[in-house]
Amino acid sequence: MAVQASTAPAVVEHRQSGMPTPLVGMLLFIASEVMFFGGLFAAYFNSRATHAAEWGPPGGHELEAWPLATILTILLVTSSVTMQFGVAAIRRGDQGRLRMWVGLTLILGVLFLLGQLYDYSQLGFGISDGIFATTFYTLTGFHGAHVFGGAVGLTILTARAMSGQFTARNHVAVEAISMYWHFVDVVWIGLFFTLYFLR
């Protein structure tokens, strides 16, 4: 029973239809990140449920949504929009606009990070000051780390855009980073409402 007698032609080509493989990879990665933040959010809500009465920052400190947190939110949401403009630009093949929008996104992201660091310095409580503080810093800290990761990606993207590596047909990396960036943005919106408004 010799299988080797195969007479079929060697068709080792693979379908290129549908979403490009790197984007599939990025989507899957984001799915795992959703579960990661899901775990942290679950920890937040569980801790909150066990402390329904006295939930909040320790020792009379207050968590103010206005002005800093709101401004940060606006920064990050705007950056998602600029990122999308960048993607639209390169889909049209407009390399110049791509550079501009991606660069702008990067700047907004860095501003967000600086703002958050400033916010930390003003809060007046630390991670070890009780369960609220622990969950607060862990959630925002890990979100910040993700923004930082995104910013690194954007930096590489900007550099590659500068050297003209992307075209209308070949810009998977731009799409991938933009997906990730939107994800980070969505997480922040969730955080913003959970931490500042869900009283």
Partner 1 sequence: MATTTLSPRAEQYQRSWVLDWLTTVDHKKIGIMYIVNSFLFFFAAGILALAIRSELAVPGLQFMDETTYNEAFTMHGTIMIFLFIVPVLAGFGNYIVPLMIGAPDMAFPRINALSFWLLPLGGILIFSGYLFGGAAAEGWTGYTPLSGPTYAPGAGTDLWIIGLITVGTASILGAINFIATIFKMRAPGMTLFRMPIFVWTILVTATLILLATPVLTAGLIALFIDRNYGGSFFDPAAGGNPILWQHIFWFFGHPEVYIVILPAMGVVSEILPVFSRKPLFGYRAFVYATIGIGLLSFSVWAHHMFTTGVVFLPFFAFMTAMIGVPTGVKMFNWLATMWRGSISLTTPMLFAIGFVAMFLIGGISGVMAAAAPVDFHLQDTYFIVAHLHYVFFGGSVFGVFAAAYFWFPKMTGRRLNERLGKVHFWIHFIGFNLTFFPMHSLGITGMPRRIADYDPTNTGWIILNSLETVGAFLIAISIFPFLINVIATLINGERVGDDPWEANTLEWATSSPPPPHNFDRLPPVRSERPVFDLRHRHDAEVLTAEGLTAEGGH
Which CB, 88 or 131, lies closer to partner 1? 131
Q: Is-contact 164 191, C-beta < 8 A?
A: no
What is the smallest separation between the CB atom of 20 and partner 1, expressed in angstroms? 9
What is the smallest separation between the CB atom of 76 and partner 1, expressed in angstroms? 22
Q: Is-contact 106 80, C-beta < 8 A?
A: no
| Residue span 45-84 as binding mask against partner 1, x where in contact by CB under 8 A, dash where not | -xx--xx---------------------------------
Which CB, 63 or 131, lies closer to partner 1? 131
- CA-to-CA distance for 56 and 136, rounded, in angstroms? 10
- CA-to-CA distance for 49 and 72, rounded, in angstroms? 28
- CA-to-CA distance for 10 and 168, rounded, in angstroms? 32
| Residue span 13-52 as binding mask against partner 1, x where in contact by CB under 8 A, dash where not | xxx--x--x--xx--xx-xxx-xxxxxx-xx--xx--xx-
Is residue 175 classed as helix, strand or coil in its secondary structure?
helix
Peptide bond into 20 cis (omega under 30): no
Q: Is-contact 183 33, C-beta < 8 A?
A: yes
Please list every residue from 116 through 145 that binds partner 1, using CB under 8 A: 126-128, 130-131, 134-135, 138, 142
Which CB, 1 or 121, lies closer to partner 1? 1
Cα-to-chain-centroid distance, residue 135:
19
Q: Which residues bind partner 1 (CB under 8 A)?
A: 1, 3-6, 8-15, 18, 21, 24-25, 28-29, 31-33, 35-40, 42-43, 46-47, 50-51, 126-128, 130-131, 134-135, 138, 142
